Chains A and B, each alone.
Chain A
Amino acid sequence: MGKPHAIIIGAGFTGVATAHDLALRGFDVTVVERGDFCNGTSGRTHGLLHCGGRYAVKDRESAIECIEENMILRKIVPQVIEPNGGLFIALNESDLAYRQAFLEGCEACHIPIEELSPQEALRLEPNINPKLLTAFLVPDGTFDPLRLALAFAATAKKNGAQFFTYTEVNRLILDGKGTVTGVTVTDRRANRTYEIRGDIVVNATGVWAGEIAKMAGAKVPVKPTPGVMVAYDQRLVQRAINRLNEPGDGDIVLPQRRMVVVGTTSFEVEDPDYIPVLEDHVALMLERGAELIPGIRQARVRGKYMASRPLIAAGSGRSAARTFKCFDHKETDNVEGLVTITGGKATTLRAMAEKTADIVCQKLGIQAPCLTREIPLLSYRQYFALS
């Protein structure tokens, strides 16, 4: 018997990370993507390499995933990361009241933090709001979204994975007995339609996961939940600056290249294909961002954009957990040969892939351990340099 063949739909974060994982476990891997790498949610992510502090009080499962994966990504893909840490700062009494819960949450989730006096925090970051009351130093980071995905894709490609961009799935091929055996795709560069057969199909389409699952009569309870981000043209800080409070709107400011990026908001939409950038949300980002870093008011807007989180848990908006879930559609819908990975966040892309590959291996009766925790990724440019 030859190698098992996995078809992965989607070349966002989960798709490329799953391609990397399965290629290392000995699979033939084919990735199909209707646009180019990261054209959906992944490319437009805020770019925060979370330490988990944001979730440590109310969503500890996500917080623990974040700190573990944060440490792994720093090791395997330093090429795309600004590893400068972050601050959580308190600006009022409500923020201070959150301090104890934050301390306890971080301790429970093993997130290494250090409390700083306002003077110490201002010495590290002279541009943060000088009226701060306290600050915590945390191991946050910033990453380049496209290059993070390309580093995974480059390494997968080196290990034999094949990537077909601008190739859209039209339907899932079913064998008449409830098993998915492949996909019909259209190469959008040439308007040519053809079939690809495989032993397993992995639906890694994020907010679009429900649409793909529906092609096999299966369901995925994913809620597209967009948020706006605004980039300003001055690098006012070296670290991620977070508001010390429950997750809310515009409470994170990240440095990236010569910019800072303020994010984000949270609302639900039905169709994630095009989401307008709402002007009142942009205005809110300036308002909230300037509370953390007053100098943002003197900076110029460089870009305004929107990304749609794939939330899967019960609850809605901020109250929904940010963890991920892999669905074996044999169990949920009695459809064989199809698994869906969605939810989660950019920081946990590798863990999402590990979980998905575990389930794929288990379904196909393959014994192969996950190797992605240790193996450094190739330069993202190798995706293009490799023939």
Chain B
Amino acid sequence: MSDNKWNITLKIHRQKEDQPPYFQEFHLEVDPDEYVLDAVERVWAFMDRTLCFRHACHHSTCGACGMRVNNVEKLTCITPIRAVTQDGGVIKVEPLRNFPVVSDLVVDMSNLYARMEMVGAKAVLPVTQAEIERPPATWPADAEQYLRLTDCIECGLCISACPSAATSPSYLGPAVLAAAQTVGLTAETLPIIDSEDGLWRCHSAFECTAVCPSAVDPARRIMNLRQQVVRQRLSSLLKKS
């Protein structure tokens, strides 16, 4: 941790109800090792009580504080100021794209939650099913019984970053397709996934995987789902002939 302080400018997207949006600048002294969310919260606490932003856990487990920071989707509670600007620099903070703006930095992610529910996304999984980068060589014999909160924290960063999501509000989006891949396709979810606004709207831009703060890797999962669906179609064709 550093003893030096930086003077930075937060350039924050402001928007109330039907009024046109604008940017407002706030100048503040920060420790560069603080997180972007800490700076935003201080603007609310000490400079402008009308600022609306969403946040809860402050350590990347809840997914509430996703924003666009200097044009890139970030979970602001774990994004150090040092990583996005320098002393004397500017941090532009905007709400996520491809969701309706509720106010200032807050977006309405109801659709995302509802769609996650629709594909049967699990909130907890056995730890052995968690796909971690360096899994232990052998899990303890009783590991099956341990549960873990899933990786996807429903933060919406992937949907904001996705160029295909920008083309159609009814596109299910990367998080939802990734969840469908994780739980597996069912007779109920297959027609929703294998559709124009499902699997086939993805243009393989891989932006979702680039911005995901939780190592879900939605792009790989979407590609895998496509393989599964194509394989199913082929095998049913072969059965018919």
Interface residues of A (CB under 8 A from B): 35-39, 42-44, 47, 78-84, 123-124, 126, 142, 144-147, 166, 188-191, 229, 231, 235, 238, 255-259, 261, 273-274, 277, 279, 282, 302-306, 379-385
Contact = CB atoms under 8 A, between A and B. Distances in A.
B58 interface: yes
A123 B34 CA distance: 38
Given A79-B124, A82-B124, A166-B106, A381 B117 contact: yes
Contacts of B109: 384
Contacts, number: 156
Interface stretch (B59-67, B83-91, B182-190, B228-236): B59-67
B117 A257 contact: no
B102 interface: yes
B192 interface: no
Given A81-B124, A304-B59, 20 more contacts: A36-B55, A36-B64, A81-B147, A82-B149, A83-B147, A145-B56, A166-B103, A188-B103, A189-B102, A191-B16, A235-B132, A235-B148, A238-B143, A257-B153, A257-B214, A277-B34, A303-B60, A305-B59, A381-B116, A384-B114
Please report whether the interface of chain B is mostly helix, strand, loop or mixed according to DSSP: loop
Interface stretch (B35-43, B167-175, B204-212): B35-43
Given A257-B148, A380-B123, A36 B54 contact: yes
Interface stretch (B5-13, B45-53, B195-203, B217-225): B45-53
A258 B54 contact: no
B140 A123 contact: yes
Interface residues of B, number: 52
A385 B113 contact: yes
Of all A-B residue pairs in the complex, the 8 with the closest CB atoms, nearest first, are: A43-B56, A303-B59, A305-B58, A274-B45, A384-B113, A146-B62, A189-B103, A384-B110
A341 to B, nearest CB: 20
A279 B1 contact: yes
Nearest to A12: B56
B59 A82 contact: no
Contacts of B106: 36, 166, 189
Nearest to B3: A279
B194 interface: no
Interface string B129-162: 0101000000010110011111101000000000
Contacts of A238: 127, 143, 146, 148
A71 B62 CA distance: 23
A36 B61 contact: no
Contacts of B56: 36-39, 42-44, 145-146
